[in-house]
Amino acid sequence: MAAVIRMHPMLLQLTLTSFVFLSCLRNGNAGITSTFIRSEYPSVDIPLGNKVFAVPKGHNAPQQVHITQGDYDGKAVIISWVTPDEPGPSKVQYGTSENGYKFSAEGIVTNYTFYEYKSGYIHHCLVDGLEHDTKYYYKIGSGDSSREFWFTTPPKIDPNSRYTFGIIGDLGQTFNSLSTLEHYMQSKGQAVLFLGDLSYADRYQYNEVGLRWDTWGRFVEQSTAYQPWIWSAGNHEIEFMLIWEKLLLSNPIFSGMLLLIWPPKVAILFEPHTRQISSCITVGDGGNQEGLAGRFKDPQPDYSAFREAAYGHSTLEIINRTHALYHWNRNDDGKKIATDAFVLHNQYWGMNHRRRKLKKHYVRKSLEQIAIY
């Protein structure tokens, strides 16, 4: 819980830029409330026995496999997994051809207790020294219970690198969550920016909390084992630079929000719920058990450009240094429907843009505004 907002000049500058940038958005297409409200599936958690939570076959087989970014420039990943019965190896074997695991890396293992619940053995292994833009195959576990996956590293840092993020908020583990996850997996997303609440296990008590963490880990593995999910929840702050720089702020004020820095000077603030906060893109529900935020504040506040009560996911496609494309994809009757899209222009690279001088006192005022919510 140690992270605080760092008031260093870069963040100040970036934060202000987000206000400047988003105020442009605001003036564009003000005040649309979509009339769409869907009710395809009830917002209840998928029962424990469902196949989406199935434990992989074999004694002590690795489960809940997930990867995240392991460095600042896209040449490392951290691979994590859980073994249920005994610690087993924390080794990752990997290589660039299928079944050709030329390299290996050693990780660590840990475990914890929460009330009656005893976690499995949680492994984390840093795999570094990778090449950019390369597909790697990896293998974890031992003997008959070993499992194999793959991931692709991002392109070299370059202002014109193309990269597509998926953006998912408040996923949960309902049938709506499953619909969102399946739709996301059909998109071109290469990494997920995950906002806000993870498993919604806080609806449970005592050891059931831990059990629902585990089911959630198994549920999302179909994506998390194959591409980095970058978490906005948690007690730590990660910064990295690829074609972007991202700050994760775990200060209570920013809890669950994620600031994406699109260099050199555009900041986009993503927020997981439907809280009232000026100047950000709120990503709707992935499928949590609380159900949809069906009631909005009326009249629509003037800071809100578009809002819709739907489950789904977003993608942010960075096309080059000047253009990025944002899509909101609604889950609708089992289909994915793109219902909102806009192009973000990185005006820093625009020739005629008058650069604004940033004044510190103005930035502080903006941050205070954020703190109000």
Ligand X SMILES: *[C@@H]1O[C@H](CO)[C@@H](O)[C@H](O)[C@H]1NC(C)=O
Residues forming contacts to ligand X in the complex (CB under 6 A) are: 111-113, 118, 319-323
CA 344 to chain centre: 19
Nearer to ligand X by Cβ, of 68 and 347: the residue is: 347
| Phi, psi dihedrals of residue 134, rounded to the nearest 5° | -135, 140
Beta bridge partners of 332: 335
Minimum separation from the CB atom of position 111 to ligand X (A): 4
Q: Determine the Cα–Cα distance for residues 261 and 136; give it in Å rounded to an integer.
A: 27
Nearer to ligand X by Cβ, of 132 and 345: the residue is: 345
Minimum separation from the CB atom of position 321 to ligand X (A): 6
Nearer to ligand X by Cβ, of 124 and 321: the residue is: 321
Nearer to ligand X by Cβ, of 112 and 206: the residue is: 112
Tokens of 205: 């008590």
DSSP E strands, 255-355: 258-262, 266-271, 281-282, 306-309, 312-318, 323-332, 335-345
* Integer angstrom CA distances of residue 83 from 49, 57, 102: 19, 12, 24
Nearer to ligand X by Cβ, of 34 and 322: the residue is: 322
Largest CA-CA distance found in the chain, in angstroms, rounded: 64
Burial bucket for residue 207 (CB in 10 Å: 0-12, 13-18, 19+) = middle
Answer yes or no: are the C-beta atoms of 285 and 170 closer than 8 Å. yes
Minimum separation from the CB atom of position 353 to ligand X (A): 14
3-state secondary structure of 354: coil
Minimum separation from the CB atom of position 347 to ligand X (A): 13
Minimum separation from the CB atom of position 343 to ligand X (A): 8
Nearer to ligand X by Cβ, of 115 and 373: the residue is: 115
Minimum separation from the CB atom of position 320 to ligand X (A): 4
Minimum separation from the CB atom of position 185 to ligand X (A): 25
Nearer to ligand X by Cβ, of 113 and 134: the residue is: 113
Per-residue H/E/C for 211-274: HHHHHHHHHHHHHHCCCCEEECCCCCCCEEECCCEEEECCCHHHCCCEEEEECCCEEEEEECCC
Please count the other Cβ atoms lying within 10 Å of the Cβ belonging to residue 169: 29
Nearer to ligand X by Cβ, of 36 and 112: the residue is: 112
Nearer to ligand X by Cβ, of 288 and 346: the residue is: 346
Q: Determine the Cα–Cα distance for residues 269 and 183; give it in Å rounded to an integer.
A: 23
Minimum separation from the CB atom of position 349 to ligand X (A): 7
Minimum separation from the CB atom of position 154 to ligand X (A): 19
Q: Determine the Cα–Cα distance for residues 103 and 247; give it in Å rounded to an integer.
A: 31
| Phi, psi dihedrals of residue 15, rounded to the nearest 5° | -65, -45
Tokens of 83: 């073994």
